[in-house]
Amino acid sequence: MRIVLALFASVLFLQGQADVNGFWVFRTPVDDGTSRETFFDLKQSGQQVTGVMFQGRRRTTLSEGWIANGKLHFALNVNGQGGAVRVANYDGDLASGRLTTTTAAGATFTGVFERSSLEKAVPPRIAPPALHDVPDNGLVRTPPMGWNSWNKFAGRVTAEDVRAMADAMVSSGMAKVGYVYVNIDDTWELGRDAQGNPTTNKKFPDMKALADYVHSKGLKIGIYSGPGPKTCAGYEGSYGHEEQDAKQYAAWGIDYLKYDWCSADQIYTDDEMQAVYQKMGDALLKSGRPIVYSLCQYGRNGVWKWGAKVGGNLWRTTGDISDRWDSLNRIGFGQAVMNKFTQLDIASAMKPGAFNDPDMLEIGNGGMTGDEYRLHMSLWSMLAAPLLAGNDLRTMSDEIKSILMNTEVIAIDQDKAVKPAKIVSENETSVVLARPLADGSIAVGLFNRSDAAATIAGTWSAIGLGGKQLEARDLWAHQVISVSGDSFSVTVPRHGVVLLRVHAK
């Protein structure tokens, strides 16, 4: 990638000598009206240049650097796909003030390279508050349902996309079966106005008008920020402006906040997470508007033990999901959360208004089969996980609609008793889960993790239903199935599921 940067020659020359000692910021403009910032701490010794690049959470040491004959050169080693190391080269002519950068990424930008400071790269630390329990906000007594922009649109999302998703949520029938929240993820931010209030970039010219539009559809709208100086994508975070941001969200009409850790780890340790997230929990309560609070810190520091104490309604228990079977399998069944706990190990931490969140749904994004997507929907429902679609709602096939809008499966997720699922049996290729429901029935999920169709067998007594006359309904086939005796045996497709609702006659 070729990047031409303006380097001001008057700054670079000190008493006729080139001097690049100190902090520098590289600003490259983005089409949405923002600029991405990368900071460098450069040290010059004669002709040699050494130093470090600051980019969000990353610190990368220069692999080489020099000044000679009015030319500046330094390079960085960048880890590419498959562990390959690629080199990003920075080369410039100091006399003309131009710096051309050839990076490992491959695109072209024009930006500015100018003097900065450590405080700009990493703002001074604000001590976290003393711990206390934030009162329950009374929201989402069952897991929230809706849509989030990231899995499909990532940083390309616009206000027009959000309006279109709201329209599609209604026209498709998703709103009628419980999908309510239309959530904007990262990259809506511009910066702050003279009073320090958050402002929106060109992609979101009028957040209040957008919220009003979503509300006019009978839906609710969500937004994204984080406790650090920058969000995960390098946009403005809420660090030091928590109450101000919460008040602005309320003024816009926001109903849901996803709050992502990211650059906060430049300032705080994991042991301080609870206090840092508590700060925004307090701010949301003071905002005067009911706002669902979604913690996103990937299951670190045992968040399920304290998420509700900071006012959280849901908290991520995993790293980011992707639209691949191995990701779904690992997050859903494997050691997906920090400290090697699985989703089932921590299932008892949930209660009405406070839920474990194994990340958003990938259903409909094209990377998995229909059976894998049905397993995805079934497992999330057995876990009482939030159901936040992440696909393009305008272009859903009939099969994807049937998966996302299966009301019998959604009823498991939304069961008001909010009781955790438990493992009945498991091995390397299959898992049987049972979850007691409010009406006395039991949801039974038979999950095949193997690469071929498999028979999964067991006994009703292991589920707590032995010695009773039973009735069962297959929630994907939408039909009653025959049940007799104490044992069962079901053929389950590769990477698939059979989901039953069983009750005594």
Residue from 402, 432, 409 nearest 333 by CA: 432
Say whether 320 is catalytic: yes
Say whether 133 is catalytic: no
Q: Is the dihedral angle over the CA atoms 473, 477, 483, 486 positive or is it negative? A: negative
Q: How far apart are alpha carbons 242 and 283 in whole angstroms? A: 6
Residues 6 or more apart whose CB falls under 8 angstroms from that of 196 comprise 241, 244
Active-site residue identified among 19, 93, 265, 320: 320
Active-site residue identified among 32, 41, 260, 371: 260
Q: Is the dihedral angle over the CA atoms 161, 164, 166, 171 positive or is it negative? A: negative
Contact 221, 233 (CB under 8 A): no
What tokens does 206 get?
């009028």
Residues 6 or more apart whose CB falls under 8 angstroms from that of 177 comprise 405, 407, 410
Q: Which amino acid is at 293?
A: Y
DSSP for 248-282? HHHHHT--EEEEE-GGGGGT--GGGHHHHHHHHHH
What tokens does 498 get?
């059979």
Q: Is the dihedral angle over the CA atoms 191, 193, 199, 203 positive or is it negative? A: negative
Contact 60, 78 (CB under 8 A): yes
| Catalytic residue ranges | 260, 320
